[in-house]
A and B are shown apart, each in its own frame.
Chain A
Amino acid sequence: MPPAEHFAAPPNWEWWILAYFFFGGISGGSYAIGTLLRLVGTPADQRAARIAFIASFVALLPCPLFLIADLGQPLRFINMLLDASGGGLSFKPWSPMSLGSWALLGFGLFSFVSFLGAVADGGWHAADPIARILRGTIGAVWNVIGTGLGFFVCGYTGVLLAVSNQPVWSDGWPLGGVFLASSLTGAAALLLLLARSRRDVDAGTSVRLELADRNFVVLEVVLIAVFLVTVAVAGTIGKMSGVWLLLWLVVILGLAAPFAFTRVDAARRWAPVTAPILALLSVLALRALVIFSAQT
């Protein structure tokens, strides 16, 4: 197979898009972990589940703002959903940006309702009726559907990049999986950070989150390796070297941190927040690396 040729111009997707990819990933990943904690965790894990749903919604809040700010005509953001030329809805399943706009809207609804349920469980009684509904089977179904949409929000951003003709992006079809796995890693790190900052979260929950985090890291490492192979085969891996090696270093540090902090004595002495912070920086660095390197 000959090397891919790219003569495309860069779209100049920069900081707003990076911010969206990061917060959207954290939001979707947090929702998925919240669902896992709620459905297969212990009763002691339910406080962490509540935190996960709240974190998911809070991380999601700025996402539409980031996307609107990135548009050349921000007031026409609604054209993503409504067809301004032909009338009706603007829905193109084969366009990841179109599909992602709808998924973000749907996930926003699920995340908001789960957020209300979580704050009601935390003592805000105005939302008690919602919390009551979400405690039963309906709640479990709601969480499962919300997790599906959350996963989509985590991963479609990678597919969006791959469905282009840009170097690196279009050469790496596994990007969707890479971003999804990275979102889970980042969300687990964030929840660990939040759990360790609160006394009401069970210590066992933190241990379970650490184990989940390490599992997600393994998945992410495998997918990054597959992604790099596809980019290498296409002959565009050089775009991600040079100055970008600094970001690769941040990515590697963040991926290694959850293991180093449990196995290396010297590392254990560091504050327990260091590993999650490194992991979150790694999630950000990975997205920055992919977004910016292809466009330079």
Chain B
Amino acid sequence: MAAFQERPVGFFTDTSICIGCKACEVACKEWNQLEGNKPELLLDSFDNTGQLDAQNWRHVQFIEQIPDNNGVVMNPTPIAGGQAWLMMSDVCKHCQNASCLEVCPTNAIVRTEYDSVFIQQDVCNGCRDCISACPYGVIGFNEKTGTAHKCTLCYDRLQNGLQPACAKACPTESIKFGYLDDLQAAADKRLAALQTAGYKKAQLYGRDAKVYGGLNAFFLLMDEPEVYKLPSAQNATLPSRNNLAGYAGGFVTAVVGLVAGVLAFRSQRMNEKTDATR
């Protein structure tokens, strides 16, 4: 099959129709030959994956929202009497302003012709600066390869005209893959429909440039971003925000330190000169 056009592609994950089947997780592991972590019972709803990491490039979150009023619903809403079981298939966001790409000292992290963010495994030296920088906790360190790993947006499949494995496997089309402008148009339409139906908290996350300049993998959420462990637009800041202040603070400290040192060494010298002239 022919490769996709060299235009920005991405995911639109509509969490309102995610059923938590984890087919995306399985398909991702199969295609990318990820061994997976040792199984653990996390006692966190239906989640036994835990987080995105080197072995989990897709992670279905289960968020139980049950009002804590001894079962009495105080403020009924149109959604199941105030109760909700939210599900979201999380993934690398392939940010337009990517924190990982910004800090990577070896240029191992690059932007591909499809506008996705990709870690070149033969260049990465495992410094883990990208892990420190990623605000979504997406990147993990693989002990076997000694390198950082994350979703590649199935770069190899794209080059062969195949859509990413997770989107292909999703039975409800909660994960939609396509050219970014098409996905954005579809997302706008879906949001309008949900809001008309009374889902007032429904919102798009990463659809526009407010979060890291826009996300190539963006979401339709049924609650605030923090509920899904996503930083709000106000808190979505790049690591480089501290560059200038950090270096300026260091420079001022260096100058004050030098003055403090000169005062210590010069004052004693002056005392000695004074003593010698007496």
Q: Is A262 among interface residues, defined by CB-CB distance under 8 A?
A: no
Q: Is B8 among interface residues, defined by CB-CB distance under 8 A?
A: no
Interface string of B215-244 (1 = CB under 8 A from A): 000000000001001111011010110110
- How many residues in A have their beta carbons less than 8 Å from beta carbons of B? 75
Counting chain B residues whose Cβ lies within 8 A of the other chain, the interface size class is 35 or more
Kindly provide the distance from the CB of A20 to the nearest chain B CB, expressed in whole angstroms. Answer: 12
Chain A CB within 10 Å, residue with most, of B52, B106, B148, B256? B106
Cα(A169)–Cα(B242), bound, Å: 10
Q: Is A228 among interface residues, defined by CB-CB distance under 8 A?
A: no
Total A-B pairs, Cβ < 8 A: 237
Kindly provide the distance from the CB of A86 to the nearest chain B CB, expressed in whole angstroms. Answer: 6
Given known A72-B128, A97-B129, A207-B268, contact A5–B107 (CB-CB < 8 A): no
Cα(A11)–Cα(B129), bound, Å: 7
Interface residues in A95-117 (C-beta closer than 8 Å to B): 95-98, 101
Interface string of A153-191 (1 = CB under 8 A from B): 001101111111110011001111100110010000000
Given known A5-B232, A9-B53, A212-B261, contact A72–B141 (CB-CB < 8 A): yes
Cα(A5)–Cα(B235), bound, Å: 7
Query: Within 8 Å CB of A92, what residues of B?
Result: 104-105, 107
Main secondary structure of the interface of A (DSSP, over half): helix
Chain B CB within 10 Å, residue with most, of A8, A155, A209? A8
Q: Is B60 among interface residues, defined by CB-CB distance under 8 A?
A: no
Q: Which of A55-63, A75-83, A236-244, A278-286 contacts B (4 or more CB under 8 A)?
A: A75-83
Cα(A42)–Cα(B261), bound, Å: 13
Q: Is B166 among interface residues, defined by CB-CB distance under 8 A?
A: no
Kindly provide the distance from the CB of A202 to the nearest chain B CB, expressed in whole angstroms. Answer: 10
Query: Within 8 Å CB of A151, what residues of B?
Result: 250, 254, 257
Closest to B124 in A: A73
The reply to whether B136 and A8 contact each other, CB–CB distance below 8 Å, is: yes
Given known A2-B234, A97-B129, A155-B250, contact A90–B242 (CB-CB < 8 A): no
Cα(A177)–Cα(B230), bound, Å: 31
Residue positions of B touching A, CB distance < 8 A:
51-53, 99, 102-108, 110, 120, 122-129, 131-143, 145-148, 226, 229-232, 234-235, 237, 239-240, 242-243, 245-247, 249-250, 252-254, 256-258, 260-269, 272
